[in-house]
Chain A
Amino acid sequence: EAQVTQNPRYLITVTGKKLTVTCSQNMNHEYMSWYRQDPGLGLRQIYYSMNVEVTDKGDVPEGYKVSRKEKRNFPLILESPSPNQTSLYFCAIGPGLAGGVSTDTQYFGPGTRLTVL
C-alpha cells in the first residue's frame, strides 16, 4: 500500500523563521508534488517533481522552494515564511511510473497544518 509521510503534522512559527516540511514515500514513485489547501479554494499545486533533480513550479510557487536529491524524499522549504502562508499542506505521489508500473492515481500524505504568526 502506498504510504506518504509528512513531518511535522502541526507547526506554529513566526514570520521570517526558515522552516522545512519533509515528505517521504515508500512506493518508488517518480512523480511527487506539494499542494496547499485553503477554505473555498480547494487544493492548489505549489511545486512538483518528475524525478530526481527535476522540479518545476506549480500554480502557486511564490515563497516556496523544493529539492529532490533522492527519489523517496521531497522536502518543502519556506525560506522566510509570512502569515499568508498559513495553510494546510499536502504532499502527494503519483500518478505516473512507480517501479516501472504505471498508475493514474495520486496518493496524499496526512497533511501539515502550518500557522505563521
Chain B
Amino acid sequence: GNSVTQMEGPVTLSEEAFLTINCTYTATGYPSLFWYVQYPGEGLQLLLKATKADDKGSNKGFEATYRKETTSFHLEKGSVQVSDSAVYFCALGTSYGKLTFGQGTILTVHP
C-alpha cells in the first residue's frame, strides 16, 4: 500500500539556518506529492505541491522537488524565520480524494 515516511523530529534551528526535512514515499502509480504546514492551534494549510516527476513546488521560500528515482520529496528552505515554527506534513495523493500523510515533523526556530 501507499506510505509516507518523514525524518525523525523534532527539529530545532536558529533563525537564518538552512532547513531540510526529508520525506520518502512508497506508492503505486503516479502520485501527486504535497507539503502541508500546521501552525500552532490551526488547521493544515497547503504549503506546496508537485504533480509529476522532476516538478519543483515552491512557496514562501520553501522548495521541494519530486524525485521519482529516489522516491523522495524533501522540503528545503535557505533561511528559516521564527515564524516558520510549525508542524510540517508530507503527503501523497493517488486515488480520488484520499491523502496519505507522514507522521509530521515539528520545527522550532529560535531567534
Contacts and interface: CB of A to CB of B under 8 A. Distances in A.
Contacts of A24: none
Report, as a range, how many residues of chain B touch the other chain.
20 to 34
B43 A31 contact: no
A105 B101 contact: no
Interface in B23-78: 32, 34, 36, 42-46, 49, 51
A30 to B, nearest CB: 9
Contact of A45 (B44, B49, B98): B98
A25 to B, nearest CB: 13
A106 B34 CA distance: 10
B99 A40 contact: no
B26 to A, nearest CB: 15
A90 B44 contact: yes
Interface string A44-69: 11001010000000100000000000
B103 interface: yes
B97 A42 contact: no
Contacts of B43: 4, 90, 108-111
Contacts of A81: none
Interface of A: 4, 31, 33, 40-45, 48, 50, 58, 90, 94-96, 104-111
24 contacts: A31-B97, A33-B97, A42-B102, A43-B89, A44-B101, A45-B99, A48-B97, A48-B98, A50-B97, A58-B98, A90-B44, A96-B97, A104-B49, A104-B51, A105-B46, A106-B34, A106-B46, A106-B93, A108-B43, A108-B44, A110-B42, A110-B43, A111-B42, A111-B43
